[in-house]
Amino acid sequence: MHMGRPAYKVNTGCHGSDVAGNTVAAMASGYLIFKDICGGNGLSIINDIRMRILSY
């Protein structure tokens, strides 16, 4: 990609409702895609992603 890709950080000094909203939207889209492809594993994949985000 030939464009700038800013990094975002959410903490007490930098509120990030837009970042959190985009993250939730991406996770919901991922679930809708993976639920048909992976059967019952779609939810476990999304939970794994959620845990990785929270541990970051």
The pLDDT value recorded for residue 40 is 67
Q: What pTM, to 2 d.p., does this model score?
A: 0.51
3-state secondary structure of 42: helix
CB distance 27 to 47 below 8 Å: no
- Using one digit for the tens of pLDDT, what is the confidence trace for 14-54? 777 777 788 888 878 877 877 777 766 767 777 887 788 77
Where along the chain do its domains lie? 17-55
The pLDDT value recorded for residue 15 is 74
